[in-house]
Structure formats: C-alpha cells, structure tokens
Structure 1
C-alpha cells in the first residue's frame, strides 16, 4: 500500500462502538462482552443497548478492568418515513435525567406490542410465545422480536433466528406488529443535550428510496446529528464505500461497530471489522474528551 492510500493513524484503531448485552437483546453480560472485546483486540469499546442505558456503569467498569478505553452508548429506535431507524448515541452522560426519562418512555410500548405479537403467532398455532420469549429477556421492558425468535428456535419451530424473522416476524407475517418509536428529533436531542454524539446506525439496512435516504440524512443533520456508521456488521464492502461518500457529502464523522448480539447468532464478532476508510473523521476524534 502506498503512502497516498494508507489511512491516517486515527482511522487505524480497533474501535467497536455498537454491541448489545442482556440488558437489552444480547445474550452476554456487559462484563462478558468486555472480556470478549479485549480478547479480540478492541482498544475502544461502547455498549449500545436498545433504548436503555442501565448497563453503562457496569460496562465502563468492565472496560477499565480489561484495560480498554470506553465511550458510553445506546441505540435508540425512531420512526422515520414509516420505517424504524436506529440512532446510536455515544459519549453522553449516562445519568442525564432527560435521557433517562425519554428512554423509559420509548420503552413503554414494547410490552403491549409483545402481547399483540404473541396473539398473532397463536392464530397460526404457535401457543405461549409471550411466556416463552420472556425466558430470554434480561429486562422485561425491552422484550423484542429477537426474544420471540430465540423461543421459536428453542421450541423447534425454526432452525435459526433468521428463519423466524423471514417466516413470522417481518411485515406481512403473522407475528409482525409495528411500533411507533421516538421521533428523530427527540432521539438526537436526548443524546446531544446529554453532551453526546448522535450517529445513524447501519444505514444500508433501511428500505428507503434515494430521496427518503437523502431526507433522513438532511433532517438528522439539521437536528444536530454528527455521525454515521460506515463500517458495521451488516454492511458489505461496497456499502463501506457508499457510506464513506455519504459521510463526506454531509460532513459527518464516521463510526465503526460490529452490532454484536450473541456468539451463536451474530455473523460479525466484536473487534473483527475492517478499519475505517481513509479521508474520514472518526467519531472518536470528536469525542476525545468523553473517552473514559
């Protein structure tokens, strides 16, 4: 590789800034995740549980115990153009009252949604799905489709969680129930008001038209959003290139994270992603004073 194409040193950092623990829909504790991240060479880590920051102090302590640097994190579900979009927050104050209250409110609809999902599955002969899903839930406030998927695999309805989603838990299938989450404005405001950075998570996953995607990035930046996940577990190599260009176009910092949930289920392990492409501003440069 010639000097002209070598990424700057700031890009060559094994940062994993997107993963989940039992506090939301992962299967490992924050402490086990920290140990796994360290074993895989992660230098800067963040735990980003869905709509929840209850594991942050544990994660920060575990990172310190394993000799890693740490950024606080969460992944907030928002509704945009009738699609669920995820906004990662990094480097915020985990004790900020407005953020704690806002996330508690957005978690509130999950219980009713879960009951409706269970009813839908019962209508096609799958009984007891709600009670079965609860066995896999670390935090009942955060019961989700992933917990239902694990129950359907355990009970032999499907061989793997991906099959469950295809057959039962996506739009038009028996167990799918939409939920209206926080607004984009609210999520970005909670994060930035708590001195954190808002980041669009895995943008290639959303089923937007080019115009809708442009509107998402435009509105996100107008609300104070500053970053986008360029290298993430669900992106292809071509999508790394595409969203690196998007980051440059919108003047956004670039983030990197595996979106790891479970050793048995996740295709990308903690700390195993390629480095960020060159010519981008890594989010950790802008959050240097928030790194613990």
Structure 2
C-alpha cells in the first residue's frame, strides 16, 4: 500500500520550465508561498538556471536552497542524484551544468532526426525548442510538439507510441558516470533521488547505496509520492545501515498532475534529515 502524502513546509524536489516543469521559476515560487512552504529547493534536471532567474526578480518567496537533479550512469543504468546547498557560483556545478547542456543538445538532435525520418515531420526540433521556451528540449517537449503538429492526440499517446521507455525516441544519453559527477560537485550535499523508480532488487539497491556513500553521497530520498510502506521500511533500514540522511519531496512538475507541491509522505522522527544537515553548513 502506498504511503499517504501529507503537507510539509519544506519542498526539496520540484521542477520549473528550466527543465521539464510547467511553471516558470517565478510562478513556482509564488505557488510555494501560497501553499505555506517556507523552504524551497528547485531541482531542475542538470541545471540551476531557475536561481539566476529568481535573483533578478523581487517578489515574496520562501527561503531558497540551491538544488539540481543530476543525470548520471551507474553500471549502465541512469540514476538521478539531487545536489543541495552549493554556492550559486560553484565552479564544479557550473561545469557540470555546461557539460550536460552539451549532452542534452546532442540528444535532442538525435531524437529529432529519428522522429523526422520515421514520422515524416519536419522542423520538429524547432517546435520542441519552442515548447521548451528556448531551452534544450527533452522528450516531454517533443511530445508537446507532436501534439501541436497533429501527429499525436495527447502527450500520453506520444509517449506510448514514440517517446516512452524502449521506443525509438528514447535516446540514451552519454551522461557522466556517478563517480565523475560526484567528483565534479563535491561542494553539494548529494542525495539519491526516488530510488524505487529504478526498479532494482533490494540487493542491487544496497550495492548502489554502499557505493554512493563511498563516493561522498550523504542521503537518500525516502519520502516520495507512490512509495509503498514495504519499500519505505526497507529504505529506512538501508539509510541507517549506510549512515545516510533522509529527505523527501513531491517531484512536482505541473498543477493537476500526480504530485502536489509540498505534499509527500511523512519523514521518520529521530533520523538525520536534509534540513538539519543544511543547518550545519550554513
């Protein structure tokens, strides 16, 4: 049975239009204020441009904590690692952001080439870039472009036929390895994101967390939407075994979707958590 999400005053995992979210950084910050969120970490995929945008705007906002969700490879599998609390001008995180932008541009061109050859559409990359508001487009933006051009009825249908896992538009990127990413971003507090999504066995997940900890990882995202009580208990045991702090977040992307900003399962008491760790470094 899935753990029930409850409202929190801290949000540690959400996205804006700087990656695959639907709200601008300004709109997301405003929504956080309206939701009673006091501390907000925006964790866009492989970039932290949202913070640069918000630094130019004067508006009521929660306390902001720098964040980024990094795409990495571990034993041939793509994982996501959340990095928090790093300086906005940190050379390592800026270098990682630049590297991933190059990787994502190459991936977008490959996706566009496959879709154009298979579906007979033209200028799909330009349409996807428009959906991404000028940023590097990902699969969700290509799905929106296919809907716009009348090739697909819905985004879900576009993923089912052409862009979902194992489909022709599911182009594997040359992400940096876990080891490489951890070495580049040492100034951040690194947390393994939504570990249940990777569909690992418990044994393999323990191996992953053990290696992650040895490379400087500090935490595991325990409280995420959809996690079962069984996996919650297993992850909690693993966190204790490898001396990892615990965190939680909604993984919010857009209003009306499967997640709600600031709502995720309750974190256990008497366990080191991300909020307390951030207080140590401030």
Q: State TM-score, norm by structure 1.
A: 0.85
Residue 259 of structure 2 is aligned with which of 264, 268, 280?
268
Q: Counterpart of 2:238 in 1: which secondary structure? A: helix
Residue 30 of structure 1 pairs with residue 33 of structure 2:
no
CA contact (8 A) 1:19 1:47 kept: yes
Task: Report matched runs for 1:248-287 at 5 Å.
Answer: 248-263=240-255, 266-287=257-278
Q: Could you tell me which residue of structure 1 aligns to residue 47 of structure 2?
A: 52
Q: Could you tell me which residue of structure 2 aligns to residue 201 of structure 1?
A: 193
- Considering only aligned residues, what root-mean-square deviation do their CA atoms show, in Å? 2.5
Q: Could you tell me which residue of structure 2 aligns to residue 92 of structure 1?
A: 86
Shift of 1:218: 1.2
Task: Report matched runs for 1:56-95 at 5 Å.
Answer: 56-59=51-54, 65-66=59-60, 68-95=62-89
Give the distance between the partners of 1:168 and 1:19, measured in 2 at CA. 26
Shift of 1:286: 0.7
Distance 1:253 1:114, change over 3 A: same
- Matched residue count: 276
Give the distance between the partners of 2:65 and 2:112, measured in 1 at CA. 36
Residue 17 of structure 1 pairs with residue 9 of structure 2:
no
Give the distance between the partners of 1:158 and 1:78, measured in 2 at CA. 30
Residue 244 of structure 1 pairs with residue 244 of structure 2:
no
Q: Counterpart of 2:126 in 1: which secondary structure? A: helix
Give the distance between the partners of 2:156 and 2:239, measured in 1 at CA. 30
Shift of 1:13: 4.9
Give the distance between the partners of 1:98 and 1:147, measured in 2 at CA. 28
Distance 1:16 1:188, change over 3 A: same
Select between 228-237 and 31-40 the one with higher mean Cα deviation.
228-237
Task: Report matched runs for 1:144-223 at 5 Å.
Answer: 144-192=138-186, 194=187, 196-223=188-215
Distance 1:61 1:71, change over 3 A: farther
Select between 73-82 and 36-45 the one with higher mean Cα deviation.
36-45
- Contiguous gaps of at least 5 residues in structure 2: 1-5
Give the distance between the partners of 2:91 and 2:197, measured in 1 at CA. 31
Q: Could you tell me which residue of structure 2 aligns to residue 232 of structure 1?
A: 224
Q: Counterpart of 1:153 in 2: which secondary structure? A: helix
Distance 1:238 1:157, change over 3 A: farther
Q: Could you tell me which residue of structure 2 aligns to residue 4 of structure 1?
A: none
Distance 1:234 1:117, change over 3 A: farther
CA contact (8 A) 1:60 1:70 kept: no
- Contiguous gaps of at least 5 residues in structure 1: 1-10
